[in-house]
A = this chain, B = another copy of it.
Amino acid sequence: MLTIVKIGGNIIDDKDKLTSFLKCFAALEGKKILVHGGGKIATDIGLKLGVQPNYAEGRRITDSTTLDLVTMVYGGLINKNVVAALQSEGCNAIGLTGADGNLIKAGKRAVVNIDYGFVGDVETGGVNTGVLDTLLKADLVPVFAALTYDSQQGGLLNTNADTIARILAMSMAGQEEVRLVYCFEKDGVLNEDQSVIPCIRPADLERLKANGVIKEGMIPKLVNACEAVEAGVKKVVIGNAMNFEDIIKGVSGTEIV
């Protein structure tokens, strides 16, 4: 069993929560991969450097200055500190981007009305499962920053961390049982009364969207989750990073099966 865990920016931004999560992640047995998002720190450092955040339809536009910023912050500051923290918990982490080991190739997003700049879209075939397998078999724990390699133009591309986690899970599902865990600041997918929906089938997705239970940022997360399950990933769970042990035990979060 391979467990792939994605942690969101809200956890990255909160030092105590991050430390607590990493301790639990380090203790998880078996093969595992961590994918982390960015958090507010890139925006904060960017503003100090005179890089104004630029959004179109709620998504960040990555010009070359912003690409340098996220390469520094996601690929350097956050990634290497997460790796060092895991090492201090006895977990042999290795920090990576998609360029390292040619691990995740992407294509620069085509301009349709909006030019998102250096943003990469990944495909299942873009994952170098051979190198990933070598690392896992050597008992290393890959920790991915959300950056991919531009297979056409060379260079790095900014890529959604949820998508990277899904693509890694789908790519590895061909050779072993994969469990994908999306950790964020809520306890799972919530009903209108804030109770956790324990289980969602991909077939439920359209209904939940139509009746407004699932909205905004939860929609792409669930679309990713459903796509992963439909492509052979054994189980996807969406839950609170602070409940990681319970998520692993199967007693917390929303399962997509």
A residues engaging B (CB < 8 A)? Answer: 45, 48-50, 68, 71-77, 79-81, 83-85, 87-88, 92-97, 99-102, 131, 134, 138, 140, 147, 149-150, 154-156
CB within 8 Å for A74 and B71 given contacts A48-B50, A87-B149, A155-B88:
no
A79-B101 Cα distance, complex, nearest whole Å: 13
Q: Specify how many copies of this chain sit in the oligomer.
A: 2
Instruction: Give chain B residues whose Cβ lies under 8 Å from the Cβ of A50.
Output: 48
Chain A residues touching B, majority SS: helix
Closest 6 CB pairs of A and B: A76-B76, A88-B154, A72-B72, A75-B76, A72-B76, A84-B99
Contact of A97 among B48, B72, B83, B99 (CB under 8 A): B83
CB–CB A149/B84 < 8 A? yes
27 contacts between A and B (CB under 8 A): A48-B48, A71-B76, A71-B77, A71-B80, A72-B73, A72-B76, A73-B76, A75-B80, A80-B97, A80-B99, A80-B147, A80-B156, A81-B155, A81-B156, A83-B97, A84-B155, A87-B102, A88-B154, A92-B102, A93-B99, A93-B100, A93-B101, A94-B96, A94-B100, A94-B101, A95-B100, A101-B140
- If A80-B99, A84-B154 are given as contacts, then 19 extra A-B residue pairs at C-beta distance below 8 Å, sorted by A number, are A48-B48, A48-B50, A71-B76, A71-B81, A72-B77, A75-B79, A75-B80, A76-B76, A76-B77, A80-B147, A81-B156, A83-B99, A83-B100, A84-B99, A87-B149, A93-B100, A94-B100, A95-B97, A131-B138
Contact of A154 among B73, B77, B85, B101 (CB under 8 A): B85
